[in-house]
Structure 1
Amino acid sequence: MTPPFQIDPAAVAACSATTKAQILSDLANCFASAYHVDAAQVLAGLVEREELGSTGFGRGIAIPHARLAGTDRAIGAILRLKTPVPFDAADQLPVELVVGLLSPCHSGADHLHALAAISRLLRDDAMRERLLSAPDNQAVYALLIGGNDRDAA
């Protein structure tokens, strides 16, 4: 499996946030650190999108996303939460895994295709469980880029 976005190993992190706002801030900082984008601009985009409706996907997953000026490709970041956090998901379950996506401003259908691919990936119960139970960030990264699932989980 290849992710529908570029992912840097530095964009996979553990997160100890306890609120939705902290999660979005930590996600913006993760993007900034891994991809050298402006954290404030990322956070503003994520918050603006979240105000349209929760990106809480359900089943313990959130997929915050935004379009970002200055990017030339879709980029992703993953946060594994140390404790589940309420995220206004449709099923009202707190989130444990956050998959962030940033796409170029004019990405059009590519952004939607990437979101759909992430959704399909995370609807797979076995993959979701492997991502949640992976022993460390490197194992999560290996799962995402199609590394040896046996060694990663």
Structure 2
Amino acid sequence: MTLDCIIDKQSVLANVKARNKKQLLQELSQALSAIVAVDHRIIFETLLKREKLGSTGIGQGIAIPHGKVPSLNRVYGLFARLSQPVDFDSVDSQPVDLVFVLLAPEHAGADHLKALAKISRVLRDPGIVEKLRGTESSEGLYAILTEPAMTIPPASAA
């Protein structure tokens, strides 16, 4: 699996501004709404519901909010690099500046998990994270996330 199966150029955002976690999730829900043709309130409520189960802030300034939306026909993603980090109740208490939102159809069990695992592996690579933090444009971020070297074998194959 490659990330270009999940994101396209329109779903990569640079310099997103938000004051807090709730505002950030609202902003990203609005952006995703235009991509997936689902009401932004449904997306926001889906992400908020998941956050209430436990923060999706995985540490080192990274969050992977995710959820399932019944009307979707495939897995969609949106990547955002924030202009200023925001508190996200992350496991390491560090504010977040890199966010990868993942939305999946209600029935996408394995696909959803594969996408989450892929995103997690990519965002745990210090070299990739350094490149993402040093890139100012959406186009540059998209190129980093979708470069051919990003075809990472599943963890079990390593």
Superposed pair shares fold, TM > 0.5: yes
1:3 aligns with 2:3: yes
Distance 2:137 2:148 in 1: 14
Q: 1:90-140 CA deviation, whole Å, 9 max, x = no partner?
A: 000000111000011011122111111111000100001111111301111
- Could you tell me whether the CA contact under 8 Å between 1:4 and 1:118 is conserved in 2? no
- Aligned Cα RMSD in Å? 1.8
Distance 1:110 1:137 in 2: 26
Counterpart code for 2:7: I
Which sections of structure 1, spanning at least 5 residues, go unmatched?
A: none
Counterpart code for 1:109: A
Using the size of structure 2 for normalisation, the TM-score is 0.88
Q: 1:63-88 CA deviation, whole Å, 9 max, x = no partner?
A: 00010111111100011111111100
Distance 1:136 1:34 in 2: 19
Correspondence for 1:41:
42
Distance 2:9 2:34 in 1: 11
More strand by share: 1
The 5 A counterparts of 1:4-153 are 5-13=5-13, 14-146=15-147
Aligned residue pairs total 149
- Could you tell me whether the CA contact under 8 Å between 2:62 and 2:99 is conserved in 1? yes
Which sections of structure 2, spanning at least 5 residues, go unmatched?
A: 151-158
Using the size of structure 1 for normalisation, the TM-score is 0.91
Distance 1:113 1:147 in 2: 18
List, as ranges, runs of 4+ consecutive aligned residues in structure 1 with deviation greater than 6 Å. none
Distance 2:117 2:25 in 1: 21
